[in-house]
């Protein structure tokens, strides 16, 4: 059964400017009757004590926490210790925690003609991903690698090269032509989602319309949600991930709308 939740990434600015607290976001999430929340540790800044307090709050509210962090490169040897720290943090939330990570966005610069990874970079990344998947498994964590700037073909090649690699399937990122250098279509994405269904257990829901990122989750964006939901894994974890805002009420309203839309569409399938 698919579980529905949202990410604290949308609340990043109001959290950093102390217009709200992580506990208040968790409390608000419980009021929306979500199954779980993705706790985004923006730069691995949360302490162990803070993460354990968040876990205790979530357990009191009958919420499951999954975990995410940014600014990681699975190509650079200098990031190995940070990746292990992220895995250890994710393990604090219990066996089976999904931990969303990006692969190596700093290596891609489509605006300046570097779309995708070189062959050398690809091989190094594959080797490092395999190593850290093993470490994560030992800690009871599922690393779920997000397609951030990769094209569909390149991300598909990574999943082909690493059969036990799992992904955070971000349905809008593939349509960001300026960042990926490719002009993907819904037909491309549908084919990918069907072929890789069992490697896409974690889904970020946000929308592009005519390849422009939208502030709201749309039923009829570049990815038609009702059709997409027919192709996802029956146990996929669905995460509403909308662009951040500096206004708390705006964050609450847009996330609630996204959750309501997701639920209404799921009920029709």
**pLDDT attached to residue 91:** 98
Q: What is the pLDDT of residues 23-70, one digit of tens each?
A: 999 999 999 999 999 999 999 999 999 999 999 999 999 999 999 998
- Mean pLDDT (the chain) is 96
pLDDT tens digit string along 214-269? 999 999 999 999 999 999 999 999 999 999 999 999 999 999 999 999 999 988 76
Report, as an integer, the average pLDDT of 104-133: 95
Q: Are 164 and 134 in contact (CB under 8 A)?
A: no
Strand duo 36-41 + 3-7: pairing:
parallel
DSSP, res 8: G
The pLDDT score that the predictor gives to residue 269 is 62
Express as a percent the part of the chain with pLDDT over 70. Answer: 100
Task: Show me where the domains of the chain are located.
Answer: 3-267
Quickly name the fold that domain 3-267 has. TIM Barrel (3.20.20)
Q: What is d(CA 93, CA 140) in angstroms, rounded to the nearest whole number?
A: 10
| Residue 176 scores a pLDDT above 80 | yes
Please report which helix (H) or strand (E) contains residue 59, including its range. helix 48-60
- Global pTM reads 0.96
| pLDDT-based confidence at residue 72 (cuts at 50, 70, 90) | confident
């Amino acid at each position: 059964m698919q579980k529905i939740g949202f990410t604290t990434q949308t609340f990043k600015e109001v959290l950093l400017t102390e217009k709200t607290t992580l506990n208040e976001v968790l409390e608000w999430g419980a009021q929306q009757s979500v199954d779980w929340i993705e706790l985004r540790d923006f730069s691995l800044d949360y302490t162990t004590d803070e993460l354990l307090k968040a876990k205790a709050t979530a357990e009191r509210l009958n919420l499951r926490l999954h975990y995410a962090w940014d600014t990681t490169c699975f190509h650079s040897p200098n990031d190995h210790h940070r990746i292990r720290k992220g895995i250890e943090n994710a393990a604090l939330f219990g066996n089976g925690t999904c931990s969303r990570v990006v692969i190596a966005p700093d290596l891609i610069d489509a605006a300046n003609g570097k779309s995708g990874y070189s062959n050398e970079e690809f091989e190094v990344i594959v080797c490092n991903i395999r190593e850290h998947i093993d470490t994560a498994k030992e800690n009871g964590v599922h690393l779920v690698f997000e397609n951030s700037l990769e094209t569909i073909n390149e991300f598909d090649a990574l999943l082909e090269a690493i059969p036990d690699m799992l992904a955070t399937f971000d349905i809008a990122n593939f349509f960001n032509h300026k960042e990926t250098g490719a002009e993907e279509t819904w037909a491309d994405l549908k084919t990918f989602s069907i072929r890789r269904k069992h490697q896409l257990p974690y889904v970020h829901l946000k929308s592009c319309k005519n390849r422009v990122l939208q502030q709201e989750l749309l039923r009829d964006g570049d990815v038609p949600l009702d059709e997409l939901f027919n192709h996802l894994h029956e146990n996929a974890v669905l995460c509403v991930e909308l662009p951040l805002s500096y206004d708390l009420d705006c964050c609450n309203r847009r996330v609630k709308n996204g959750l309501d839309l997701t639920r209404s569409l799921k009920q029709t399938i």
